[in-house]
Amino acid sequence: MPVIKYPRLRDPLFYEWDRKAQKCGLRHTIYAVNGDQYTGEWLDNLKHGKGTQIWKNTGAIYSGDWKFGKRDGYGSYSIPDPVTKEYKRVYTGWWENDHRGGRGVLFYPNGECYEGEWSNGLRSGWGKMQYKDGSIYEGQWLADQPSGQGVLRLPNGNRYEGGWKDGKKHGPGKFFYLDKGQQLEGIWVADIPKCGVLVDFGRDNAPAPTQYPLPEIELHDPAGVLAEARAMFDDSHN
């Protein structure tokens, strides 16, 4: 005898209870088991859209964009001062997959500041770093270190323009000793100048010039000497 199945008039109650439990859309503050709290938008039970998260253990606050449960988009991250309890901004900018990614500004606890591009939470791309001693580096970064072309300005006015690798001067570059009125153009390897030409540069206006000017040394082709040195450097690093 055939079995006849009739359609159910309604789904079991637990289906409805499960749908109601799924967080979707704008919600008031939701508390996690560990005490963290989130206020904002949800999608399929994940933080998605605009929202603010407060971590109980550190008191840190993130306010901005979320995507499928992770910080993604534009937002700011702040932490409370241990003494005054007032919130201090740590990072403002773009996020990708819960890490700093894109362009943003990071304020370090020691007063230093970086403004520029990020990738996977590390300084990568073009950026400007202000150090606590007053030095400023502006140029290319890779994996959180100056790498590529950049300019380092020192507090006394001296500056270096040229190549960098792993946070050190590397490759062709120029160092301007404005306090002494001299310029060194040459090749650097791991922060050490290996060869180059040192000449007087604005010596008359320098605040602390050398006692005597540099003697003139006649080279048949000084530019050619440097070009040859650059070529040898490039060949050794290819």
The pTM assigned to this predicted structure is 0.79
CA 10/CA 6 separation, integer angstroms: 12
Please give the single-letter amino acid code of residue 110: N
Residue 161 is assigned to a structural domain of this protein? yes
* Count of structural domains within the chain: 1
Residue 136 is assigned to a structural domain of this protein? yes
Residue 140 is assigned to a structural domain of this protein? yes
> Which pLDDT score, from 0 to 100, does residue 18 have?
46
Residue 168 is assigned to a structural domain of this protein? yes
Residue 186 is assigned to a structural domain of this protein? yes
> Which pLDDT score, from 0 to 100, does residue 218 have?
59
Give burial (CB, 10 Å; 0-12/13-18/19+) of 176.
buried
> Which pLDDT score, from 0 to 100, does residue 231 have?
63
Residue 208 is assigned to a structural domain of this protein? yes
Instruction: Give the total residue count for the chain.
Output: 238
Residue 104 is assigned to a structural domain of this protein? yes
Beta bridge partners of 183: 176, 199
What distances in angstroms separate CA 94 from CA 76, 105, 202, one per listed residue?
A: 9, 9, 43
Contacts of 33 (CB under 8 A, 6+ apart): none
What is the DSSP annotation of 188-210?
EETTEEEEEEEEE-SGGG-SS--
CA 196/CA 216 separation, integer angstroms: 15
CATH number for the domain harbouring residue 197: 3.90.930
Q: What is the pLDDT along the chain (238 residues), one digit of tens a residue?
A: 555 655 555 665 444 544 554 566 666 788 889 999 999 999 988 999 999 999 999 999 999 999 999 999 999 999 999 889 899 999 999 999 999 999 999 999 999 999 999 999 999 999 999 999 999 999 999 999 999 999 999 999 999 999 999 999 999 999 999 888 899 999 999 999 999 998 888 777 777 777 767 666 555 555 555 566 566 556 666 6
Residue 236 is assigned to a structural domain of this protein? no
Domain with 199, as residue range(s), is: 22-215
- Give long-range contacts, CB 8 A cutoff, 24+ apart: 58-63: 61/87
Beta bridge partners of 61: 54, 78
